[in-house]
């Protein structure tokens, strides 16, 4: 949750009431349980292609993060791409699959 979202959540409270950020995060996690998007290594796609696909499929990744994910998957067999709510995880998985990569989601 961003600082702006936290501020707006606190501004809707009655005067004098405070909500702890940890409590908001716990409520957010309860409502939207986190899922892992997992990328698997393959012998078909080149490393540069995988990095490019990651950058296009998951909007908020930096080049360095995409390279690290690709290398982890290459060296260990799989890598966690992102942890997010289920609907977003499904969306990222579908985008990765559309690039010919192997990806799954699972609860965190």
For tokens 């998985």, the residue is 93
Provide the CATH number for the domain around residue 92: 3.30.1390.10
Residue from 40, 88, 41, 86 nearest 60 by CA: 88
Q: What is the pTM of this model?
A: 0.74
pLDDT tens by residue, 19-32: 677 777 666 666 77
Alpha-carbon separation of residue 51 from 19, 68, 73, 98 (angstroms): 40, 9, 11, 14
Domain range for 3 is: 1-31
The answer on 76 and 50 residing in a single domain is yes
pLDDT tens by residue, 10-66: 556 566 567 677 777 666 666 778 999 999 999 899 999 999 999 999 989 999 999
The answer on 24 and 54 residing in a single domain is no
The answer on 39 and 91 residing in a single domain is yes
The answer on 5 and 48 residing in a single domain is no
The answer on 99 and 55 residing in a single domain is yes
The answer on 26 and 12 residing in a single domain is yes
């Amino acid at each position: 949750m961003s600082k702006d979202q936290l501020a707006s959540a606190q501004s809707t409270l009655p005067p004098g009431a405070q909500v702890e950020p940890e409590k908001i995060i716990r409520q957010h996690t309860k409502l939207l349980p986190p899922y892992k998007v997992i990328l698997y290594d393959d012998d078909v796609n080149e490393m540069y292609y995988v990095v490019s696909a990651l950058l296009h499929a998951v909007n908020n990744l930096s080049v360095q993060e995409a390279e690290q994910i690709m290398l982890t998957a290459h060296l260990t067999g799989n890598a966690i791409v992102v942890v997010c709510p289920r609907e977003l995880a499904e969306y990222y998985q579908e985008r990765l699959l559309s690039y010919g990569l192997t990806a799954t989601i699972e609860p965190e």
